[in-house]
Structure 1
Amino acid sequence: MGFPVSLRVDDGDVGEEGADAVFAWLREVDARFSPFRADSEVCRLDRGELARDAVSADLDEVLGLCEEYRVASGGAFDVRLPGRGLDPCAVVKGWSVQRAAGLLRAAGARRFVLNAGGDVVAARGPWRVGIRHPGRADRVCAVAELTDAAIATSARYERGDHIVDGRTGRPATELLSLSVVAPTLTVADAVATAAFALGADGVPWAAARPGCEVFAVTADHRVLRSENFPAARAQAA
């Protein structure tokens, strides 16, 4: 799916079969929902080869989430930007990894952490998850302590100015990074992307979402965080 995935299970024996099911699911998601694979369901829908009312239940759920966050963000979050094809990756990643965590629980895992390119689902715990410093790849700017929660980060340091404000069609540049802790990675990932697209206004917007806590670094290196962000320790950006 374009990012490394790692799994650690400390309580509960999922076995190779359980772990294999997780990675098989993520490979299936990549094949079905990638905007870069011409034969994916997403690309077929985008080309008009598949009617909107004929998509799979999974894609219907994803598109519903995309619309929910488009409306909630006032259009800042939009998976159908002018001049671009349908790209629901900002929802698909968190949604699919949260589903993978469900597969782990069904296989018997109790205390585990599933890390997908820095976005993490943590079960039981506590688990300490570092948030990368936006200017130094070898440092963290905060450490979140999670128990039965998830964290996702949207940032400019890995892929440049790739998050676009759907209201303007221009890259969102008011923040360097923004992390969201939420009950599920489905929520954390979508809220983080939408909030980043909103810019500095996205920090209070994300903090007001049910169950969400936020840690952000602005373009001028100020740290903004919600009152109850579960930080194990923090240091200045």
Structure 2
Amino acid sequence: MTKLSVNINKVATLRNARGGNNPDVIQVALDAEKFGAEGITVHPRPDERHIRYDDVMQLKDAVTTEFNIEGYPDKRYMEIIRLVKPAQATLVPDPPEVLTSNTGWDTISHQEMLKDIIAELHEYDTRTSIFINPVAKYFEPAKLTGTDRVELYTEPYASNYRTNKQTAVKPYVEVAEIARELGLGLNAGHDLDLNNLRFLKEHIPYLDEVSIGHALICDALYFGLENTIQMYLRQLEDI
């Protein structure tokens, strides 16, 4: 079954807007796990505009499912991974000033850099995943980096799903097959929601994990966190 990792960045954004500790990011992570989430994802940026360094250190000892730390693999990020040794490190190619991750790695031009970084991450017994666009030419070079998994960047799927869902999912099915043939684990994330998640799962039933934050937290405003997590889990049930 595809695991659901809940990205709690937006919870931290809400807290930071007012100061103090409401909502309590650590408690939300614990509650998300209690309500069925099979992982917790954070993306600690250098400006700490949402998840802070201290949050990550507290989550290190609090998360009992899989802890996934996303980020650009600069010196600061690598030090966080060295200290925390999370279950998974997801490498994204976005610089600090970018609002949110908006593309995958060019695994051809960055192959040697990624290979060195991933070798270091494996020294910490951390599973690695690299953010990747649904473009076939990037997958064999991704395999050569030594990564354990790739994470499909699904914003184009989510955008095109509204107009033609079959066209939207087609390139993802094609590259998912390539990843499977290469022996790469397969994650997915970005703009997945209750409308488009089930269709993706139906067409790529062997997805290992989806990471969902913004839409899930927005839905929780209406449905409550526990109910929302259960709704997402039902979208991921095996067919």
TM-score calculated relative to the size of structure 1:
0.27
Higher strand proportion: 1
| TM-score, length of structure 2 as denominator length | 0.27
